[in-house]
A and B are shown apart, each in its own frame.
Chain A
Amino acid sequence: MLATTDITALLVQARRGDERAVDHLLPQVYERLRQLAHRYLSGNLHQTLSTTALVHEAYLSLVNQHDAVWQDRAHFLGYAATAMRHILVDHARRKAAQKRGGGQLALDWQSSDIPVDCIAGEMVALDAALAGLGTLDGRLAKVVELRFFAGLSVEEVATVLGVTTRSIVRDWNKARLFLHHALETPP
């Protein structure tokens, strides 16, 4: 784990377009998010995991607030969304692989949780569809990452991507249609 100042420096380098800085950053953010997630779920805390809270907490714990400027936060959220996507999809793949016996479960059932298998399958499928969307329009895919995986609000996504909220709403609506289509019509 790098010190917060190192992460801040990496962010500055990444902001200047240094690709290697990005390569160093992503694993750091991934690891931190994973640790935070497990801390939430371990022991007896029994809090519902909030991806939004995770992403913001990761920022606070990784980036030196004193040196960071607002662009750094926006950039960080961008990376964190990608890392969060990787974490969730990695877990989903593992879960899908160790899928226990028993048939398909309906999503609507009677308690606070949704069946693991369904979620794992949907998550893996979403990741693939999102990758397809990314090759067609990178920004649409990024908007989905930020909104869905990092749980950012429309306004926050607009700040991160430096465009108007109106554009984000448009992008999101379009991406939704594309992904709904991709997920509902099997290949």
Chain B
Amino acid sequence: MHDQTDAADIMMGDVVRLEDVLSRDSVTSVCKSFFSLFGLPVRVITHEGDLLADVHRDQPLCNYLNTLDAGERECAKTVGVVRDLEPELQTIVHPCFTGAVYRIVPLEYQGRPIGRFIVGPYVPAETTQPPASLLSVDAAIDSAAACGHFETMPRVREHIAKEISDHLKGVLELLLFSGHRAQLASTMQVASVRENYRELAEKNEALESSLDELKQLDQLKSTFLATVSHELRSPLTSIIGYTEMLESGAAGALSDGQAEFLGTIRSKADQLLGLISSLLDLGRLEAKSLDLKHESVDAHALLSDLAATIVPTANRRNVALDVQVGEQTPKLWGDPVRLSQILLNLADNAVKFSDEGGTVTIRAERGDIDAAGASGLGAALFSASRPAVVLTIEDGGMGIAEQNLSKIFDAFYQVDAGTTRVHGGAGLGLSIVKQLVDGHEGKIEVTSTPGEGTTFVVTLPAADDDA
């Protein structure tokens, strides 16, 4: 026998025990209603023999018989037999020595016996006289008293008793069906949630494992990049060094042709060194191993240096430079070398992608940087906005299509593969810029209109002493 309904039975849609699907209160309530309507005692018993509901009123005849030794014995015997009777399919009408009867009705559900109910004792209305078995049950019985009590017993015609028992059976089976339905629904609900959870947990585990694998591969990639870059840089430094020595005439005078070829070798070697340095920077930034200094950096000086560096390239491309520094611009808080690298990269791009005759504007001004965003949730809990320097680099070049804007900070991404051939570069610059800006706890934003130009806005924290 099961202690409780187990999963296998639920999956078979079976009811194991009556009390699993019928509450004692609701069954008792139905039996009370039955009793008040028909005046007939009723008891509901589970297949296992537990009493689920018992609604009756003590009968004077039974009370009287229980005062007699033999009467009490016979009563107990009859009640015991009635209680243990379990009809398989058909109702059993069991007689009592008092002339009353008990009607025992089986409760069956989905082809299985699940319990029974007992209606009685009652006297069939067809019985008018107490039987001899009542009057002879005990030597001490008072016949007049027994007959008097017999008259007070509940009475009902047998065909009526059958009809009302069938009705009660129908009501109880309906309750059983509803209770079973509710039980299955709630069990399935819980089982489905568990099954969904198990499925999701398995998928999450697989995803986490993939993520770990990808992280390892990413780490391998970074290490590989760093190692290869380092190994490439050493011989390249020698190539550049010896080229410079040859150019300086350390190995004898050079013909014009030789000098031109050496110039090309140097220029290409410098380009290669720049790329390798970028790869090394990226590797360090990704590995978070690039140490950034933090000191006050003057925006005027930063932009002047930048302008001096970029002017030759701008002149070659016939692009005008407009450098503006606002009066209230505070000092920046960061690594001067890396801040220059950020600006140089953006300005170099702006010049590179400007049309001939165009203008590149580089502007520094006072601004704010907000830790929680303009109206971020819980902004009150975060530090208030702090003073910042807003650096704007604006060009009037070809611009970037909106769908590409979100990708331009990815390493090795080129908006158009053709730009590599025309303008050079490996698509590392903006990725490094983004990581450097992040490293300074700043932010970088880009807006662009194809055909009209692109604007990069870098917001970096101002130095405290200048705030």
A and B pair up: no
A interface, CB within 8 angstroms of B? none
